[in-house]
Amino acid sequence: MTNPILNPVAKQHRDNTFSEYEVALANRNSGTLLESLQQEVTPVGAHYLLSHFDIPFVNDAANWDLNFHGCFDSPFTLNFNDLTNYPEITQRVTLECAGNGRRLVAPHWPSQPWGHEAVGTADWTGVRLGDLLEQASISPACTEIVFHGTDTGIDGGAVHNFARSLDVEMAQHPDVMLAYAMNGQPLAPQHGYPLRLIVPGWYGMASVKWLSEIEAIDHAFQGHQQVGTYVYREKAGDTGIPVTEMRIRSLLVPPGIPDWSTRKRLLKPGNTKIVGRAWCGGGRPVAKVELGIDDQWHEATLTPATSPYAWSHWEAEWLATEGHHIVSCRATDAQGSCQPIEPYWDTAGFGNNAVQRVEVWCEDY
């Protein structure tokens, strides 16, 4: 028998049903509960979580080393406890999975089948990556910095540890950080304990968890997580365009009460306050949010974000009338880029920022 893990058959897109392994991925990975969008900071344990491989459980951070090697003039190894020698910073950052919304791209790519729930906001505490890179002294020949996690598995038939690169300029960006705390507590095992990268403004794949090696290289990194996936492609086999910053997006807290299984909403007619969050990549502010009622758009009240990399709260009033409604929202950034009604096509369903549509049945109960 041929080992199908190391010799995988090419995946096929699927229409409106899902396979058992897609369901298993959905159970394994955790979405943020949409009602928690009421909260500025997502409660611990409710933040979305995508784990490519198994969680490496680390018993004691004191034994954790971070090794700087490759094209550095002063390569060195830092123990976790040495991090206290660098200035501590805390940043509020909204992270979204690049695959958020994959399920809603038709036909869909068989992978983690996110709807809208792969986004969350946390206060991350740690040190600036730039301070450490300065100490390691990047050689002139270096073009990229590679971040290696200890989590290991197989994807596309290749055994590898999770690893991603940034170009030298982005790696030196003052807001890129190594985080050891989330919402004031040590990182949970599943969020990268003891140490992870945080690349604010980018989709979550860049924020490598269980970070153990930082490697300076003089060529383009060819790891699977860099070039095999997390690339926008019209069709499989295209070179494509790397996935980087989050696209403009907004979500709303579904109003009324839910049906257990379909999650459709029942709402009493009358004045209803709709609240939600909106965000944009690259530290750019959200310029406008609109509430959509049955595809009629009304400008919402937007509260400025509490950090350049955090989502903004928005709210709007709706006089809900009896009957069936589709409630949605869309955000626009300062450059006029606005969420599309229908998803952009991407073969693997990355970067789907199409508007959320919530089905609401409005009647007295």
Site for a second copy in 223-282 (CB under 8 A): 254, 257-266
**Distance of closest approach, residue 56 Cβ to a second copy, in angstroms:** 9
Closer residue to a second copy, CB minimum distance, 61 or 188: 188
Give residues 32-61 in contact with a second copy (rule: CB under 8 A). 33, 35-36, 38-39, 43-47, 49, 51-55, 57
Tell me: does residue 324 bind a second copy (CB under 8 A). yes
Dihedral pair phi/psi, residue 358, rounded to 5°: -110, 125
Number of residues that bind a second copy (CB under 8 A): 72
Q: Which residues contact 46 (CB under 8 A, 6 or more apart)?
A: 32, 33, 36, 120
Closer residue to a second copy, CB minimum distance, 103 or 330: 103
Q: Which residues of 295-322 are buried (b: 16+ CB within 10 A; e: fewer)?
A: eeeeebebeebebbbbbbbbbbebebee
Binding mask 127-156 for a second copy (x = CB under 8 A): -------------------------xxxx-
Dihedral pair phi/psi, residue 169, rounded to 5°: -65, -45
**Distance of closest approach, residue 24 Cβ to a second copy, in angstroms:** 5
Binding mask 16-35 for a second copy (x = CB under 8 A): xxxxxxxxxxxxxxxx-x-x
**Distance of closest approach, residue 307 Cβ to a second copy, in angstroms:** 22
Task: Tell me which residue of 359, 354, 348, 350 sits closest to 107, measured CA to CA.
Answer: 348
| Whole-number Å distance between alpha carbons of 266 and 321 | 12
Largest CA distance in the chain: 71
| Whole-number Å distance between alpha carbons of 287 and 331 | 7
Of the ranges 66-74, 105-113, 243-251, 281-289, which one interacts with a second copy (CB under 8 A)? 105-113
**Distance of closest approach, residue 172 Cβ to a second copy, in angstroms:** 31
* CA 359 from centroid of its chain's CA atoms: 25
Give residues 56-95 in contact with a second copy (rule: CB under 8 A). 57
Q: Which of 92, 103, 209, 247 binds a second copy (CB under 8 A)?
A: 103
**Distance of closest approach, residue 113 Cβ to a second copy, in angstroms:** 5
Q: Which residues contact 261 (CB under 8 A, 6 or more apart)?
A: none
Closer residue to a second copy, CB minimum distance, 139 or 150: 150
Contact 327, 273 (CB under 8 A): no
Dihedral pair phi/psi, residue 95, rounded to 5°: -115, 140
Closer residue to a second copy, CB minimum distance, 133 or 354: 354
Task: Tell me which residue of 306, 351, 103, 94 sits closest to 201, measured CA to CA.
Answer: 94
Of the ranges 3-11, 78-86, 207-215, 334-342, which one interacts with a second copy (CB under 8 A)? 3-11
The arrangement of strands across the sheet holding 301-302 comes to 249-252, 270-279, 312-320, 301-302
Closer residue to a second copy, CB minimum distance, 168 or 266: 266
Q: Which residues contact 206 (CB under 8 A, 6 or more apart)?
A: 164, 166, 197, 199, 244
Closer residue to a second copy, CB minimum distance, 131 or 155: 155
Q: Which of 70, 99, 113, 343 binds a second copy (CB under 8 A)?
A: 113
Closer residue to a second copy, CB minimum distance, 39 or 337: 39
